[in-house]
Amino acid sequence: MKPKMQYDLLALVKQRLEKCEDVVYQALRIHGSACTMIYIESIVDNRMLQENIISPLIKKSAAVEEHFDSFIDRLDRGDMLSVPFELSSSADYVANMIVSGNAAMIVESLSESYLFDIVQYQKRAVSESQNEQVVNGPQEAFIEDINTNLSLLRHKIKHTDLKTIRYQIGDYSKTTVYMVYIDGLCKPGIVSQLDQKLSSISIDGAFGVSTLSEQMKEAVVSPFPQFQYTERPDSVAASLLEGRVGIMQDGTPSTLLVPVTLFSLLQSSEDYYHSFFSSSWIRLIRFLFAVISLLLPSLYVAITTFQPSIIPTDLLITITASRENIPFTALMEALIMELTFEGLREAGTRIPKPVGQTISIIGAIVIGQAAVDAGIVSNPMVIVVSITGIASYIIPHFELGLTFRLLRFPILILGGTLGLIGVFAAAFLVYGHVASLKSFNTPYLQPVAPLVLSEWKDTLIRVPSMRMKNRPKSYASNNNIRRRDRS
Amino acid sequence: MRSLFICLMFILTFSPLMGCSQNQTKVEINQQAFVFALYVNKGKQEGSTEVTISTPLPNRLTSGQQAGGHGNGAPYAMVTREASTVQDALKLIQRDLTRRFDFSHTRIVVVGRSYAEAGLEDLMDWLQREPTTNLNTYLMVAPGDAKKVAELTPIYEQMPSEVLIRIAEQHNMIPTNLRDCLYAESGNQGYALTYLTAGLKPMVAEQEKLEPWTGVQGTAFFQNHKMRTTLPLKESLTISWAVNEIKTPLYTVSWNENGKASVYLISTKSSRSVRMVSGHPVFTIKLSGSGDVVYKRNHNQYDTPEVKEIIERELNNQVAEDLRKALHASQRVGADVVQLGMLVDWNYPDHWEKVRANWPEYYKNEVEIEVVTDIRIRNFGTILRTKPE
């Protein structure tokens, strides 16, 4: 027999939900006893509430001739409703559960409230990946709903070793975050390290996954991304199988992957969906353009102003002829063009769609022929800037592309003031920095520095998967045989 | 902050390397005058040198529709000054010029005949010491005034200097560059430079007007940087062949009264060797090659193997004869232009030590050279008929 007459629970909950006018208080009568169903209509599954909770309760209470107490006992045992529920007598807890999508049923004569988890947020359908498109291979992408995302991931990996550890982050947002990994494949150290970091995060709210990554970032101040973002379930699944750890957050399609290396950021999931010849070739092209996007403008400026002797004579004539009558120095010219390009790029992403076309037309005129015709910039510079601009988009991970674009400017200034030596000094500085970086104890340049030759099969090129018998050691584990020969 | 400081220190470490040596200082590309060719003559005053530089005028070169003036004049400028040395003359030119010289693209130096005869030491010294000049700059000799060569009408190219560079690059005649000259000189041996010709020719492309034209007429032999003699075209070809610097020459041979055929040599090779016979070096120069018959006067003779043999024999004889004449000329003036001295140096270093000091004299009097040829006809250009009908 439960203690009766704690009716002030309803009052206390009401007090906490004061001025929340989207809360519904639905009065019911069960077995002669007054009760109130409290929920927020917009975030609960209304059909479920009506069909699976309210109507069975009413029907059963009308049909049954048993005593009220045994009725409640049956309810508590779970004999009566198919919807799982929990009980709580804390007004704070009940109010919090209501705003996170539960329906609370407070029976007049009972001290505990029934909480039914029937949350249903608005969400969009699973759609194609917008930012990481592939030609072959799976097209679906994560959406904002964490349960859908977990479903997409579980669809790819059906194994009991796929572990999903749940956290709640944000004092106000109470965002659900999952750490996903495959037990036995990833370094155990990473899991405990991440666990510690995720548990200790204390912020008001987390909306983009980058908030998390900044909270977890290791001490180094670096322009290079130390997390990989992806919205592709197949990328996450493949990374988990390599022994990496994923962090999925409710409310964003981006998933974090750690640890990262520079080379993992230069790989696209499409590499694995094409034949190894073409994907190896595409990878090499990608590396070439990554270097171009970092160094081309500074090399051009340094060579034309300091070392014209290394330009082939015929090319020299062409460049000189187009530089003739240009009022700026090559360095200024390059800076103007690069800044214009960056401005156009930023405008292009922020601009409302209906006016987008206008800007792209104006931009093309500014950065292109008009500037040349006006004698402000030279033709070769336009070509250099355009190639560099395109090159920075060839990098499959947007964050790394941003890094390269940012680093281009200091290198350009060094190249324009100190010549080729400045460019090389800058390149060495960048190299030294990258070599010293570590992402969760994995060296950033692995497998190049430190040298792990066995992993070169999947670094600059990709050998057929038949030949990749071992899992990469970068994210090492003891269990590193990937493929066993079956004879 | 500390890492910023380390970055700064790292970059400053390089500052001594940036320095202010000529090729490191920052000069915008459109504030430089790239000297493409140098023409050096003997000055009008005794002991003076006349230097002419040829630079392109980028604003007159056609490259897209750049803003700015489009002159109709020649796309290159030539400036001439006279002074006691090459350096002084260049200094005088620089003083009047709005743009700074850059010799890193100087690919051709033409010297006038009288200057060449007086000796190139002055020029060679400057070319060696000036840090921006290239070792693969071609050197050539002009008959008379070197500037006259530059007056040629560049029909196909934009600038006369380009024409001269192409002449060297096509390996029609020995393309001697600065490195070759310095090698030869360091071994007390001679070298051969292309000897140009300058004259007037009617041009179809220029409405049949008489226009200055430049071509190759042979080689000039140098010893100790002084020009000793010149050699006509045919003999010069074999010298170029002997130093492996010729590509696809064409020979026409004749036999009997009206037998005549032209052979286009696809591959040419030479090998030089030395052996000691009774204390003196005896050299063997072997010219080998293979070619196609591209023309045969088709009167009475059919294309039989016998005819092929005749052509081969005549060809071998002619080449051997040319080479003998050329070597004879070089021995006469003591200019070891095929650098046979090097062979002695490599094979008999002790002997070389003895003869090195007066190698020109030794080459002139004591050296015996054998000429061997092995030229074959690969294709006859038509079907060989073993049995004439």
- Tens digit of pLDDT for each residue in A335-385? 988 998 888 888 878 888 777 777 777 777 776 778 888 888 888 998 999
Q: Give the span between the Cα atoms of B305 and B342, in whole angstroms.
A: 41
Residue B177 has which token pair?
Answer: 């560059």
Q: Give the span between the Cα atoms of A424 and A406, in whole angstroms.
A: 17
DSSP A17: T
Q: How many CB atoms lie within 10 A of CB B115?
A: 24
Q: Which amino acid is at B305?
A: P
Model pLDDT, residue B24: 52
DSSP for A53-105 reads IIHHHHHHHHH--S-HHHHHHHHHHTSS-SS-EEEE--HHHHHHHHHTTEEEE
Least CB–CB distance from B67: residue in A375, A418, A419: A375
Residues in A closer than 8 angstroms to B70, CB to CB, are none
Are B10 and A425 inside 8 Å of each other by CB?
A: yes
Nearest-CA residue of chain A relative to B57?
A: A321
Q: Tell me how far apart the 2 most distant CA atoms of chain B are, in Å.
A: 98
By the 8 A CB rule, do A438 and B35 touch?
Answer: no
Are A324 and B66 inside 8 Å of each other by CB?
A: yes
What is the nearest CA distance from B351 to chain A, expressed in angstroms? 43
Separation in Å, CA A129 to CA A126, A141, A272: 9, 5, 17
Q: Give the span between the Cα atoms of B139 and B165, in whole angstroms.
A: 10
Whether the per-residue pLDDT at A82 is higher than 70: the answer is yes
Which residues of chain A are at the B interface, by a Cβ-Cβ cutoff of 8 Å?
A: 221, 304-309, 313, 316-326, 329-330, 372-375, 378-379, 414, 417-419, 421-422, 425-426, 428-429
Residues in A closer than 8 angstroms to B135, CB to CB, are none
Model pLDDT, residue A462: 87
Q: Give the span between the Cα atoms of A197 and A180, in whole angstroms.
A: 15
Are B26 and A323 inside 8 Å of each other by CB?
A: no
Whether the per-residue pLDDT at B66 is higher than 50: the answer is no
Window 38-67 of B: residues touching A by CB (8 A cutoff) are 56, 58-59, 61-67
Whether the per-residue pLDDT at B257 is higher than 80: the answer is no
Give me chain A's average pLDDT, please.
Answer: 86
Residue B356 has which token pair?
Answer: 């090195």
Model pLDDT, residue B288: 93
Is A7 buried (19+), middle (13-18) or exposed (0-12) by CB count in 10 A?
Answer: middle
By the 8 A CB rule, do B334 and B223 touch?
Answer: yes
Residue A77 has which token pair?
Answer: 């045992």
Q: What is the pLDDT of residues A431-477, one digit of tens each?
A: 989 998 888 888 899 888 888 888 888 888 888 888 777 777 766 65
Model pLDDT, residue A104: 92
Residue with tokens 């996007």: A293
Model pLDDT, residue A483: 57
| Mean pLDDT confidence for B216-241 | 92
Separation in Å, CA B364 to CA B218, B336, B355: 22, 9, 12
B24 touches chain A (CB under 8 A): yes
Which of A307, A317, A407, A424 should be substituted to probe chain B, the one whose Cβ sees the most B Cβ atoms within 10 Å? A317
Rg of chain A over CA atoms, in angstroms? 30
| SS3 assignment, position B103 | coil
Model pLDDT, residue B69: 43
What residues have CB less than 8 Å from A476, skipping those under 6 apart? Answer: A187, A243
Lowest mean pLDDT among A13-27, A71-85, A145-159: A71-85
Residues in B closer than 8 angstroms to A323, CB to CB, are 28-30, 58
Confidence of residue A486 (pLDDT cuts 50, 70, 90): low
Whether the per-residue pLDDT at B61 is higher than 80: the answer is no
Confidence of residue B386 (pLDDT cuts 50, 70, 90): low
Q: Give the span between the Cα atoms of B108 and B176, in whole angstroms.
A: 10
**What whole-number percentage of chain A has pLDDT above 70?**
94
Residue with tokens 């045994």: A70
Confidence of residue A155 (pLDDT cuts 50, 70, 90): very high
Are A425 and B14 inside 8 Å of each other by CB?
A: yes
Q: Give the span between the Cα atoms of A278 and A268, in whole angstroms.
A: 13
Angle at A24 between CA A20 and CA A29, to 5 degrees: 145
Q: How many CB atoms lie within 10 A of CB B165?
A: 20
Whether the per-residue pLDDT at B51 is higher than 90: the answer is yes
User: First-to-last CA distance in chain A?
Assistant: 67
What is the nearest CA distance from B227 to chain A, expressed in angstroms? 30
Whether the per-residue pLDDT at A3 is higher than 60: the answer is no
Residues in B closer than 8 angstroms to A304, CB to CB, are 28-29
Q: Give the span between the Cα atoms of B359 and B342, in whole angstroms.
A: 11
Residues in B closer than 8 angstroms to A429, CB to CB, are 7, 10-11
Model pLDDT, residue A156: 92
Whether the per-residue pLDDT at B82 is higher than 80: the answer is yes
**Virtual CA dihedral for B112, B115, B119, B121, nearest 10 degrees?**
-80
Lowest mean pLDDT among A57-71, A200-214, B102-116, B327-341: A57-71
Sign of CA dihedral B128, B134, B138, B142: negative
What is the nearest CA distance from A145 to chain B, expressed in angstroms? 42
Are A320 and B30 inside 8 Å of each other by CB?
A: yes
Are A305 and B28 inside 8 Å of each other by CB?
A: yes
What residues have CB less than 8 Å from B217, skipping those under 6 apart? Answer: B143, B195, B196, B197, B232, B233
Q: How many CB atoms lie within 10 A of CB B199?
A: 13
DSSP B368: E
Whether the per-residue pLDDT at B329 is higher than 90: the answer is yes
ipTM associated with this complex: 0.78
Residue B308 has which token pair?
Answer: 């092929």
By the 8 A CB rule, do B183 and B176 touch?
Answer: no
Model pLDDT, residue B353: 92
Q: Give the span between the Cα atoms of A195 and A263, in whole angstroms.
A: 26
Q: What is the pLDDT of residues A54-80, one digit of tens each?
A: 888 888 777 766 777 888 888 888 878
**Virtual CA dihedral for A267, A269, A271, A274, nearest 10 degrees?**
-170
| Mean pLDDT confidence for B105-122 | 92
B2 touches chain A (CB under 8 A): no
Nearest-CA residue of chain A relative to B18?
A: A418
Q: Which has the closest alpha carbon to B174: B222, B129, B132?
A: B222
Residue with tokens 């493949």: A238
User: First-to-last CA distance in chain B?
Assistant: 98
Whether the per-residue pLDDT at A287 is higher than 70: the answer is yes
Are B63 and A318 inside 8 Å of each other by CB?
A: yes
| Mean pLDDT confidence for A310-322 | 87
Confidence of residue B301 (pLDDT cuts 50, 70, 90): low
Q: What is the pLDDT of residues B4-48, one digit of tens each?
A: 888 788 777 776 665 554 445 678 888 888 999 999 999 888 889
What residues have CB less than 8 Å from B18, skipping those under 6 apart? Answer: A418, A419, A421, A422, B24
Model pLDDT, residue A412: 94
Least CB–CB distance from A322: residue in B23, B66, B158: B66
Is A269 buried (19+), middle (13-18) or exposed (0-12) by CB count in 10 A?
Answer: buried
DSSP for B257-316 reads TTEEEEEEEEEEEEEEEEEEETTEEEEEEEEEEEEEEEEE--SS--S-HHHHHHHHHHHH
| Burial readout A70-99 (b: 16 or more C-beta within 10 A, e: otherwise) | ebbeebeeeebbebebeebeebeebbebbe
Q: How many CB atoms lie within 10 A of CB A329?
A: 18
Q: What is the pLDDT of residues B165-187, one digit of tens each?
A: 888 888 888 899 999 999 999 98
pLDDT higher for A414 or A466? A414
| SS3 assignment, position A359 | helix
| SS3 assignment, position B222 | strand
Model pLDDT, residue A237: 93
Q: Give the span between the Cα atoms of A392 and A296, in whole angstroms.
A: 11
Q: Give the span between the Cα atoms of B343 and B339, in whole angstroms.
A: 8
What residues have CB less than 8 Å from B167, skipping those under 6 apart? Answer: B173, B194, B216
Whether the per-residue pLDDT at B220 is higher than 90: the answer is yes
Confidence of residue A123 (pLDDT cuts 50, 70, 90): confident
Give me chain B's average pLDDT, please.
Answer: 85
What is the nearest CA distance from B179 to chain A, expressed in angstroms? 18
Contact pairs from chain A to chain B, CB under 8 Å:
105
Nearest-CA residue of chain B relative to A220?
A: B3
What is the nearest CA distance from B122 to chain A, expressed in angstroms? 24
Nearest-CA residue of chain B relative to A322?
A: B66
B18 touches chain A (CB under 8 A): yes
Model pLDDT, residue A5: 47
Q: How many CB atoms lie within 10 A of CB B212?
A: 16
Residues in B closer than 8 angstroms to A417, CB to CB, are 26
Model pLDDT, residue A38: 92
Q: What is the pLDDT of residues A170-218, one digit of tens each?
A: 888 889 999 999 988 888 888 998 999 888 888 888 888 888 888 887 6
What residues have CB less than 8 Å from A235, skipping those under 6 apart? Answer: A132, A257, A269
By the 8 A CB rule, do A232 and A275 touch?
Answer: no
| Mean pLDDT confidence for B135-147 | 91
**What whole-number percentage of chain B has pLDDT above 90?**
43
Whether the per-residue pLDDT at B318 is higher than 50: the answer is yes
Nearest-CA residue of chain A relative to B26?
A: A306
Model pLDDT, residue A409: 93
| Mean pLDDT confidence for B188-195 | 92
Whether the per-residue pLDDT at A224 is higher than 60: the answer is yes
What is the nearest CA distance from A377 to chain B, expressed in angstroms? 10
